[in-house]
Amino acid sequence: MRGPRTPFVPALGQSDFRAYATELLAAGASPVHELVAVFDGKRAWVRQVDEALAAP
């Protein structure tokens, strides 16, 4: 993996992030920040879910 162009789409497929966000919103949590993280050894890249989905 190299830098911030790390592919986040596979990481998104490993999580049911939308269902979890829906649960939080239904429980009254606001705002809900949806994040996705990719790890490579001691390095980590984090993006907002919407940003990761929009990336090429």
b or e along 21-55 (b: 16 or more beta carbons within 10 Å of the residue's beta carbon)?
Answer: eeeeeeeeeeeeebebebeeeeeebebebeebeee
Q: pLDDT category, 55, cuts 50, 70, 90?
A: low
pLDDT at 43: 86
The parent domain of residue 33 ranges over 3-54
Per-residue pLDDT tens over the stretch 3-42: 555 577 777 776 676 778 888 999 999 998 888 888 888 9
Per-residue pLDDT tens over the stretch 35-52: 888 888 898 888 888 877
Tally of structural domains, the chain: 1
Write down the residue that tokens 């009254």 correspond to. Answer: 28
